[in-house]
Structure 1
Amino acid sequence: MAALDRGRTRDGGYKKRAEKFGVRYTAFPREWVFERDGWICGLCDKPVDRHLAYPAPMSASLDHVIPLSRGGHHEPENVQCSHLTCNVRKGARVDARSTPQAVGA
């Protein structure tokens, strides 16, 4: 797995990106978000297989509902479970389909 790491920090580089964009950063375990969301992708509403690992397209990924580059914070209320492929497809857009689950409701 280290070969796939490509120098990213243990938190996925989110702290550095939050500093770059001047937004708040709160450390929390990714698994906490995946469990909170019931391992359901907040972008396509389909189950995420907890046994798949990066770089599998259907592996779990943290999606920022409001991307860091758009002023969103790296906090539990602004992230949701997603498939890696769904998250990459969304990119830095704000998804109008974002569910109440995604914003901590």
Structure 2
Amino acid sequence: MSELRADRSGPHRVAFDKNKKIILKTRNTCGICGLPVDKSLKYPHPLSPVIDHVIPVNKNGHPSAIENLQLAHWQCNRQKSDKLFTDERTGTTKVVGNRNLPQTIDWSRYKS
């Protein structure tokens, strides 16, 4: 049996669910592409709303802190996967992950 991530079980689950409700009530745009999110769409629609970890959990991102969560489209979240954004202060672009970046979004300029 595979081990569940911290935001899917244990003490972080309650905090994640609480913060998810807050984000769904207060935010309307995708944190990845910047376009509006239609909250009436349901999975498996590619533009359905999901909660994305700005810093992925497997890259030591906090599993339930609201500062590490953002509203996103399902397809944007899937394309971002476990990649990190460019740090504007240092100007370094760091592609993290084992998938090729999609060509439809300029991922070198991705911001949180």
Fold shared, TM-score > 0.5 on shorter chain: yes
Q: Provide the secondary structure at the position in 1 that maps to 2:6.
A: helix
Query: What is the aligned-residue RMSD (CA, Å)?
Result: 2.1
Runs of 5+ in structure 1 lacking a partner? 1-15, 100-105
Alignment-derived partner of residue 33 in structure 2: 44
- Work out which of the two has the higher radius of gyration on C-alpha atoms and give 1 or 2: 2
Which residue among 72, 80, 90 is the counterpart of 1:82? 72
| Partners of 1:50 and 1:60 within 8 A in 2 | yes
Higher relative contact order (CA 8 A, sep 6+): 1
- Looking at structure 2, the residues matched to 29 and 65 of structure 1 have their Cα atoms a distance apart, in angstroms, of 14
- Looking at structure 2, the residues matched to 92 and 68 of structure 1 have their Cα atoms a distance apart, in angstroms, of 8
- Looking at structure 2, the residues matched to 88 and 19 of structure 1 have their Cα atoms a distance apart, in angstroms, of 17
User: Deviations for 1:22-47, whole angstroms, at most 9, x for unmatched residues?
Assistant: xx82331523112332x100000000
- Looking at structure 1, the residues matched to 56 and 71 of structure 2 have their Cα atoms a distance apart, in angstroms, of 14
| Partners of 2:19 and 2:66 within 8 A in 1 | no
1:84 maps to amino acid: W
Between stretches 75-84 and 27-36, larger displacement belongs to 27-36
Q: How many residues align?
A: 80
TM-score (norm 1): 0.67
> Which structure has greater helix proportion?
1
- Looking at structure 2, the residues matched to 31 and 57 of structure 1 have their Cα atoms a distance apart, in angstroms, of 20
Q: Is the aligned partner of 1:59 residue 2:59?
A: no
CA shift in 2, pair 1:34/1:19, >3 Å: closer
Runs of 5+ in structure 2 lacking a partner? 87-109
- Looking at structure 1, the residues matched to 26 and 61 of structure 2 have their Cα atoms a distance apart, in angstroms, of 20
How far residue 77 of structure 1 moved from its aligned partner, in angstroms, is 1.0
User: Deviations for 1:48-96, whole angstroms, at most 9, x for unmatched residues?
Assistant: 0010011110000111000000000122110100000000000011123
